[in-house]
Amino acid sequence: MNLNLALLKGDGIGPEIVDSAIAVLDKICAKYNHTVKYNEYLAGGCAIDATGIPLPEETLKGCLESDSVLLGAVGGPKWDTLPGHLRPEKALLGVRKALGLYANIRPATLYPALSERCPLRSAKAFDIVIIRELTGGIYFGKSGREDAGEMGEAAFDTEYYTVKEIERIGRVGFETAIKRNKKLTSIDKANVLESSRLWRETMHKLAAEYPDVDYSDMLVDNAAMQLIRDPGQFDVIVTSNMFGDILSDEASQLTGSIGMLPSASLGEGTRGMYEPIHGSAPDIAGKGVANPLATILSVAMMLRYSFNLEAEAKEIENAVETALNNGHLTRDIGGELGTAAITEEILKLI
Ligand code: IPM
Ligand code: MG
């Protein structure tokens, strides 16, 4: 198979972790006789520095012409004072929207080898998949500033969802649940928000089409608590853009480190964008100590979801698990290995 990939290495530790992940991808492709072509484009802070804008036309075009996109991370203190529409994060939001990647799959797995790293006393192992709606909700609703009279300046962002948007992400939730343990929790704030009430109504209609799935609703504040109380009660979670953003960071910490969580962003076709859920970690950028496992695991998700290469995906996931079992750990998960050394260990296992 020929894989034609767009690489958006981005800022901070982005280039280091993407280089590590493509070393792993190269090895897998060599082993299974695939060819892979990389085209690098600027996105985020590096694009702002070079062109003045976070998401140049050429980058978007490159992504649209590729089979799939691998992204490192964007952002950093250098660009923090820019106005909203010029911030590095706009690159990420722009690619997600332009490619129609409405479904963000974020698995949060506590590996047995890392159970000591989980901040919960009682957690042993858990395996949750968070399905986050990615191109709607408050991140894309109407926003702005206005004069609120004697209250001074005001700002607003709008949580806005159509039934179609809820249905399509809901289906991803149910279909994912069917392939796993047939258990789905939809998280909303239906006791307060009208958009959440529409979300819940729509989910209930879908639930009727999936009688085999053990479906339940949960309010987001309760969900934040339940994740800490007993993460093992969850299997597949489906939720809105903002709630998914917050809860996936929370879940990541339960796995020992945010440096472990990969993600896939998918739309209607096979083209997706794959990225770690963590940020650009400017404090450790360039030091060679970043944990590349989330990006390496994102490559496994790419092989599975965009190219239907299950054996290749599994081999990468197994290599990561074996490396952890053998005590090969980066600093964030209690070891001493740097980016290059952990990458070497993974390469040896393929
Ligand atoms: C994430 C990140 C992004 C998001 C930011 C950087 C725009 O936090 O992928 O979770 O909120 O989606
Ligand atoms: Mg986030």
| CA atoms of 263 and 273, how far apart (whole Å) | 8
The reply to whether 335 and 215 lie within a common domain is no
Of 197, 232, 265, which residue is a domain's last? 265
Sequence letter at residue 276: P
| CA atoms of 196 and 190, how far apart (whole Å) | 5
Of 265, 296, 326, which residue is a domain's last? 265
Strand positions, DSSP E, the chain: 2-10, 35-40, 68-73, 103-109, 127-133, 143-147, 153-157, 183-188, 214-219, 236-239, 264-266, 272-274
| Residue 189 is among the residues annotated as catalytic for this protein | yes
pLDDT score recorded for residue 265? 98
The reply to whether 7 and 156 lie within a common domain is no
Tell me the pTM. 0.95
Catalytic residue among 67, 188, 189, 235: 189
Of 239, 265, 291, which residue is a domain's last? 265
Ligand 1 within 6 A of CB of 245: yes
Tell which one of 82, 139, 245, 278 to mutate to probe ligand 1, the residue whose CB is within 8 A of the most ligand atoms. Answer: 245
Ligand 1 within 6 A of CB of 92: yes
pLDDT score recorded for residue 78? 96
- Which is nearest to 322 in space by CA: 296, 289, 304? 296
Residue range of the domain that includes 136: 103-265
The reply to whether 86 and 150 lie within a common domain is no
- Which is nearest to 265 in space by CA: 281, 245, 290, 250? 245
- Ligand 1 atom 5, closest CA: 89
- Which is nearest to 24 in space by CA: 281, 286, 320, 284? 320
Parts of the chain with a pLDDT under 70: none
The reply to whether 230 and 133 lie within a common domain is yes
- CA–centroid distance, 308 to ligand 2, in Å, is 27
The reply to whether 137 and 246 lie within a common domain is yes
Contact present, 136 and 102 (Cβ < 8 Å):
yes
Angle at 195 between CA 193 and CA 199, to 5 degrees: 115
| CA atoms of 117 and 299, how far apart (whole Å) | 24
- CA–centroid distance, 246 to ligand 2, in Å, is 6
Tell which one of 82, 89, 102 to mutate to probe ligand 1, the residue whose CB is within 8 A of the most ligand atoms. Answer: 89
- Which is nearest to 21 in space by CA: 319, 327, 270? 319
The CATH number of the domain holding residue 307 is 3.40.718.10
The reply to whether 111 and 253 lie within a common domain is yes
The reply to whether 2 and 45 lie within a common domain is yes
| Residue 139 is among the residues annotated as catalytic for this protein | yes
pLDDT score recorded for residue 121? 87
pLDDT score recorded for residue 173? 98
pLDDT score recorded for residue 122? 79
Ligand nearest to the CA of 276: 1
Contacts of 130 (CB under 8 A, 6+ apart): 105, 106, 107, 108, 237, 239, 244, 247, 248, 251
Helices 310-325 and 14-31, packing angle to 10 deg: 120
| Ligand 1 atom at minimum distance from 89 CA | 7
Ligand 1 within 6 A of CB of 315: no
The reply to whether 214 and 91 lie within a common domain is no
The reply to whether 250 and 342 lie within a common domain is no
* Token duo for residue 225: 């608590």
